Amino acid sequence: MDVDVKKQLLERASIAEEIIYRFLPEASGMQKTIFDAMNYSVHAGGKRLRPVLMNETFKLFKGEGQVIEYFMAAIEMIHTYSLVHDDLPAMDNDLLRRGKPTTHAAYGEAMGVLAGDALLNYAFETALNAFDLDDANPYDVKTALQILAKKAGVYGMIGGQVVDVESEKNQLDITEEKIDFIYELKTGALIEASMEIGAVLAGASEPQIKIVENVASRIGMAFQIQDDILDIEGDEALLGKPIGSDERNAKATYVTFAGIEKSKEEVKRLTDEAIEMLNELPYENAFLKELLAYLVYRDN
């Protein structure tokens, strides 16, 4: 990726991070431990891609005002809660994330469960507060909340996680159709939510929002396939984790069915289609296009 684009991404991620931290609860009171665990989880780091995608889509449609900040914080809280729960002993049983103890490793399993629950609930508390803004369109806020709830729930991320967990118990039952379903919901749903909400809060039309959803759907799928490719061909130093984990765990991925070369072709096809769709819109955000390309051609 172009060095200048990487620098811009880091700058935008830093701005997004400042916004997110501003919305986190103060660690005080009898339930201080849960606030500490929530803040620890969010402060663990990450690329902040979802809030950045949301904000860049908002800017694409010339959005203005603070309303976007409430949803940038909310989407990252939801993403973080999903990681906290993914790490639990009942799920992936991971003790480290980004080189630091996972939330349940630091605070205990019970508090890990509660921290994830708290972040999910607090995300909606935060987003709902956008109704109090004088310059926010109540209908747009309501629509954004509906998108956030659906894409994070059983018809979105959680639904994809359910099928993923069930498939891991019996890899012989996994099919290419199931792989596509898991990727579309587990990974794609929050990327779709991020970009759709950015468009909605900026006042985009329904046809334009649909184009954005289709763009995000393709990017989400390409993003996850690229993850599969990196698990085979990636550089461990750049990835920050060992490669080959899918093969060691006998986990079926898109590459299992399509092969490495066809998988690379699919990443390119999906990305090209997404950029073409973005070009159909009567607006321009050059960085957003560069960011979408980065998401799927990244090396970590």
Domains and CATH numbers, the chain: 3-297 (1.10.600.10)
Tokens, residue 156: 């979105």
| pLDDT above 50 for 81 | yes
Name the band, by pLDDT with cuts 50, 70 and 90, for residue 169: confident
Please give the torsion angle defined by the CA atoms of residues 9, 224, 106 and 10, in that order, rounded to the nearest 10 degrees: 0
- pLDDT digit string, tens, across residues 207-222: 999 999 999 999 999 9
Q: What average pLDDT does this structure show over 223-248?
A: 66
pLDDT attached to residue 294 = 83
Tokens, residue 274: 């997404």
| Letter string b/e over residues 68-96, b meaning 16 or more CB atoms within 10 A of that residue's CB | bbbbbbbbbbbbbbbbbbbbbeeeeeeee
Q: What average pLDDT does this structure show over 229-235?
A: 78
Please give the torsion angle defined by the CA atoms of residues 50, 53, 54 and 59, in that order, rounded to the nearest 10 degrees: 160
278 φ, ψ to 5°? Answer: -60, -35
Sign of the dihedral defined by the CA atoms of residues 121, 126, 132, 133, in that order: negative
| pLDDT above 50 for 83 | yes
| pLDDT above 90 for 231 | no
pLDDT attached to residue 66 = 97
Sign of the dihedral defined by the CA atoms of residues 280, 286, 291, 296, in that order: positive
Q: What angle do CA 176, 177, 183 make, to 5 degrees?
A: 90
Q: How far apart are CA 241 and CA 246, in angstroms?
A: 12
- pLDDT digit string, tens, across residues 97-126: 888 999 999 999 999 999 999 999 999 999
pLDDT attached to residue 238 = 46
pLDDT attached to residue 168 = 84
Q: How far apart are CA 2 and CA 5, in angstroms?
A: 5
pLDDT attached to residue 13 = 96
Name the band, by pLDDT with cuts 50, 70 and 90, for residue 12: very high
Q: How far apart are CA 114 and CA 28, in angstroms?
A: 17
Chain centroid, CA 196 distance in Å: 13
Tokens, residue 182: 């898991």
| pLDDT above 80 for 177 | yes
- Burial level of 192, CB count in 10 A (0-12/13-18/19+)? buried
DSSP state of 273: H
Contact 61, 139 (CB under 8 A): no
